[in-house]
Structure 1
Amino acid sequence: MLLDSSMIKEIKYILLLLLIGNIGFSQNSISVTAQQDTILIGDHLIIDVVLRTDNVNDLVSIDFTGWRDLINLAYPEDTINLEKNTTAVIIGNNEWGISDQYFSTPVEVMEGWFKNGNTITKQIKISIYDYGIWVLPSPKITNKSGKRYPELEPARIWVLPANMGMAQDSIKLMPIKDIIAEGESWEDYKIWFYLLGFALLAPLLIKLFWKRKKDEEITVEKEIIIPAHKKALTALQSLKSEELWQSGNIKKYQSELTAIVRRYLGDRFDVNALEMTTDEISRALRNKDFDTKHSATLQRILTIADLVKFAKATPPLEINAEFMDEAVAFVESTKKEDVEDLKTDMN
């Protein structure tokens, strides 16, 4: 197919536009180049930063913020030992005026840089303290017109551990060395020291354990049981000292006296005398070791007390003293002899 003259002109025009656009595009760029592609961790590395622009007055600032968060290309291969990101540490002063605190170069810093053309090259010294393959991106250009600057290929920097050998601009795998036998130390025998110490301390620990256990045992105090007759005699003596009937409190006197006798019967003969009538008490005592020769005295004390309690009779005054004596005699006569009382009688 032959091309006519009009088609040839159109093709030339398109090619010319593409050429002009490419020239304009190439005149606005910023790139970074590392003077070494491989360093040891913590070593200093010089970075050449090349800026090309066709309009110096359009520039506002150069942003190096991307250097705060470098990407480790080796991280996916070892996510345990490698860091995913790191920061390029700025070493000393530099013409770009950036530091670990300020990662942006204002246009004022670049004043006078482009007197001899539209391309300048300035250096920055950095260091990286994490090993891996780090991507150092080109800075971002901020301008007034919003013109887009191309993103050129970033620099790739291999950072090796400090104990690895390294050839210039390349990685060299060192030969595998034989395992060096470690000399003996006290660490090899510490288990025996522990066992010896435990053997020496074991008797002491056992002794302390049993002593502490013995000290912590709760001592159960033997309950002191006061005999029924002693409680009753003490209560009768206390009632007598109150002199209730002498002061006219006959009903209270008789009520407390019979209550003492009833409690004594409950403790001594195991009957619920406080809740029983006089007749019920008499019947209950028939099944106990109660000597019937004391029945008349008990019946008299309880019956007179019942009459006084319910205001059916007012006994002579002298009978109050007699009842006290009869109650004491009744308790003494019916008490249960204990071992101490028997010893006392024998002496």
Structure 2
Amino acid sequence: MPTPRHILISLIALSSLFGCKKEESKPLPKDQLTVEYSIDRDVLQVGDPVELNVTVYYPENGVLQLPPIGRGKEIVQLKRDSSVASREDGLKQSTTQYRITSFRLGDFPVSTNSITCAVGEQMLTTSFPEAVLHVKSALTADASDKLEDIKAVRKLPDVIPRWVWIVLGAALVAFLAGLITSRLWKNRKQRTPEPPPLPPHVIALNALQALWDKGLLEKDECNLFYTELSMILRIYLDGRFQLNAPDQTTEEIVWEMSRSVELNQAQQDILQEFMKQADRVKFAKDHPDRQTMENAFNTTKQFITETKVENEPESKIENRKSEIGNS
């Protein structure tokens, strides 16, 4: 007689035998579309992502077309990945993974369009999965819909205290005031105006005296004597008659002075004779005696004295000479 233990073992064996038997899958039709889908959640808050997987089985020689599911702010497609694989039963399997969300409150179907598949001249059609998103507000039920007032701008503390800027500004003003006062104090007295330049004849007569004091006549240095004497006369002509005499030839000076109405014929002859005599000494190596050199000196001095401008008394000229000497 079988014991209870034997009966229990037999039941377990029978249960294992029938329980491990694999359930055969139902064959899919080949003349129509089969759609399966899964969604990780259908209740969400605004902006939360939702994963939607859509699998379509269709004929091997068919061309599958899935509709777009983006629709304004109600349904926003964030990402879409697709893959296609062939099956042993002669069908193709298309798997599409959507990541979607919504920025509107309410209930919104993911898509109301159809899935189509062209098989030759035949068009197979089926509806998109009836997935609906239920978008809820993140606010609590007792939350107020009134906007809060904007808070006042909060001023950040100054990096440098205000009193430091005040002290620096006062110091700058004091420095500028002291600088201006110092310069005004230094320039409180007007500078004495410089005396006007000496007349050309005074400059020439002073130069003649300096030449005479060199003693070139006693040293018999006639070339140097005539060179300096002719330069004194040329500078005088430049200042007195506005000639460029230091850079002109003797012929140019004589020709221009011959047209001057301020010289009489005797003065023109004196000028011409001296200039030619000086050229003979400087360029032709002429060597006049001491008496001739003294005559040339006196003639030049006479020419300057006779042709000077008589527009200032000698006393004023002497005063100006002393002022220039003191300065």
TM-score tier (shorter): 0.3 to 0.5
Provide the TM-score with structure 1 as the length reference: 0.41
More helix by share: 1
